[in-house]
Amino acid sequence: MAGKFVLKKTGKGKFIFKLVASNGQTILSSEVYESKDSALNGIKSVRRNAGKDANFELLAAKNRKPYFVLKASNKEVIGQGEMYASTRGAKKGIASVMANAAAARLEDLTGKE
């Protein structure tokens, strides 16, 4: 079973999405979008850009925990991975995004909240 994009409305009426692996773990989170159309365009951008290793950047948080970001061709961040215990874990997260994003179905929860 492939992963899924989960699109939600925030309490303030804005929109976010997460890419969730088949095991239920969140592997990528979006920024906050003003409109649903903008969030859907963000999902399209993830699908388009997640297939290229060069679009991912490994970073370290202030607490030194590794995480990654996915960038579009214009170098803007379109998604961020969770914090990982190791660089190896972050690299597995990148591989999971690469494997899941293109075929991930969309679960639209915006009308249910």
Q: Determine, yes or no, domain membership for 113.
A: no
Query: How many domains are contained in the chain?
Result: 1
Structure confidence by residue, pLDDT tens digits, 27-40: 999 999 999 999 99
Structure confidence by residue, pLDDT tens digits, 38-95: 999 999 999 999 999 999 999 999 999 999 999 998 999 999 999 999 999 999 999 9
Q: Determine, yes or no, domain membership for 62.
A: yes
Residue 3 CB-density burial (10 A; 0-12 exposed, 13-18 middle, 19+ buried) = buried
Q: Determine, yes or no, domain membership for 79.
A: yes
Q: What is the extent of the structural domain holding 75?
A: 4-108
DSSP structural state of residue 7: E
CATH classification of the domain holding 88: 2.30.29.80
pLDDT at 112: 55
Distance of alpha carbon 17 from alpha carbon 33, whole angstroms:
9
Whether the predicted pLDDT of 111 surpasses 90: no
